Structure 1
């Protein structure tokens, strides 16, 4: 019997949790000044400052983190009460909430209108890699993050997505929908094929980071309720 495996698991989880908290705290500290510019507008009910600006959306995403954690706990509690093993219940619940909380705010940012919505000419860029040089480091990082949470958590939740080509197709498909919506809604934004390429690459990179926790077909089959034996 191996007595060394189980005692090492809790410290590892505590270490990972501590690193996650430290990383989040460091990121908040770095961007604290621009975020605090939006806080007074949110507190006084001027919702454009909360949901109509980059700083406001980032601030509201951080403020909603405790609520997201509570939803994860509630879903995991319901699943455990239904007989799902604790590790699987927590993983599934975290994946569901993580996909939503990590993707919706970033998609919201990409759907914000430019300076002349409905007035400026619609712009489409279909030449690959032409816009990549004009994005700059910040633009590239932002596009990599748009569907990173989806790529990270979707294979953990859905066994059908547990492969790199399928995650690539998922990221590219979602990005095409966003770029098409930007064009159709006339948001004064450039619908670019480079955005699709970078968005899809971000989803694949994030999926590669979560590969050890992917939900396999065997695990999916074991989740299915088994018929009661005939009497």
Structure 2
């Protein structure tokens, strides 16, 4: 007695397009939800003014969203160059590398923005875990979760050496400690808090778990190694 064949999983390109579409919809929804704060910085950004745009959280996020088409163009150009050079997984490499940089640098920039009176006093440190969470609020916690989320999402997809939760945890914690130390050393009039490190690291790990199906591991990673050139015939 024959049994009907079970439906097979959709091809990988279809799943990739579907997930990318969901990601874009989510990004569009988030932009719509925060459109009013972003529009507060729009006049200064459109006028090319540094003050009121690049030195504000709203302005940096707005310019990050505006620059998405340029980031996509960079991905396309890198992938074309790599495919012309015979590099395997050209699109995967290009997308993950641009994603790591473009999704992390603006948030680090915001963290390193000086406070009201930079350089006027010693750095401030908060080393008691969970004490500052109550003062962060939902927006602060959400922002801290996103700081290294792109790094946590794309790094294990790009690099097999980082394709494990403990390694991403160590990467996220190390990067966060480095940024918090920079806040203290540069006297930016900001508080270097252990809670920031905890939330930043949590965001990186959660993002890494979200990208788990595409991690670079095992034979798949070995297939990305450069292929040796064929030996010349005698």
**What TM-score does the superposition give when structure 1 sets the normalisation length?**
0.89
Q: Give the number of equivalent residue pairs.
A: 227
2:56 is aligned, of 50, 53, 56, to 53
Q: Tell me how far apart the structure 2 counterparts of residues 222 and 11 of structure 1 sit (CA, whole Å).
A: 22
In structure 1, the residue matched to 2:212 is 211
1:82 is aligned, of 68, 71, 85, to 85
User: Is 1:25 the equivalent of 2:28?
Assistant: yes
The answer as to whether partners of 1:160 and 1:217 remain within 8 angstroms in 2 is no
Aligned CA RMSD, in angstroms, stands at: 2.1
The answer as to whether partners of 1:114 and 1:187 remain within 8 angstroms in 2 is yes
The answer as to whether partners of 2:168 and 2:208 remain within 8 angstroms in 1 is yes
The answer as to whether partners of 1:151 and 1:171 remain within 8 angstroms in 2 is yes
Q: Structure 1 residue 222: deviation in Å? A: 2.3
Q: Tell me how far apart the structure 1 counterparts of residues 218 and 85 of structure 2 sit (CA, whole Å).
A: 21
Q: Structure 1 residue 14: deviation in Å? A: 4.0
1:35 is aligned, of 16, 38, 48, to 38
- Single out whichever of 141-150 and 218-227 deviates more from structure 2: 218-227
**Matching of residues 1-231 of structure 1 within 5 Å:** 8-9=11-12, 11-85=14-88, 88-227=89-228, 228-229=230-231, 231=233
Q: Structure 1 residue 22: deviation in Å? A: 2.2
Q: Tell me how far apart the structure 1 counterparts of residues 109 and 149 of structure 2 sit (CA, whole Å).
A: 14
- 1:91-138 per-residue CA deviation (whole Å, 9 max, x = no partner) reads 211100000110000111111111111124421111222222322222
Q: Structure 1 residue 230: deviation in Å? A: 7.0
Of Structure 1 and Structure 2, the greater helix share is in 1
**What TM-score does the superposition give when structure 2 sets the normalisation length?**
0.88
